[in-house]
Amino acid sequence: MAYTIGLDFGTNSVRCLLVDAANGDELGTAIYEYETAQEGIILDACGECAYNSGPL
């Protein structure tokens, strides 16, 4: 049995999808929210804005 894993790394989270490669059935999903991300903004250890993915 073969599986395919898809990962989507975004600004605030990473999403994962597990699919059966033989028939395309979705077997599972998961989302992990980054602890240092908030509403499209990556914060550094001091809570200052280190990166903003949205328009300025």
Tell me what pLDDT residue 2 has. 96
What are the mean pLDDT values of the chain's consecutive 10-residue runs (56 residues total)?
A: 93 90 97 73 61 55
Tell me what pLDDT residue 50 has. 56
Ramachandran class of 24: left when φ > 0, alpha when ψ lies in -120 to 50, beta otherwise? left
Domain locations in the chain as residue ranges:
3-52
Which pTM was predicted?
A: 0.63
Tell me what pLDDT residue 49 has. 55
Instruction: Kindly list the strands in the beta sheet with 41-43, ordered across the sheet, starting from the edge strand earlier in the chain.
Output: 37-38, 41-43, 49-52
What is residue 47's DSSP assignment? S
Tell me what pLDDT residue 31 has. 95
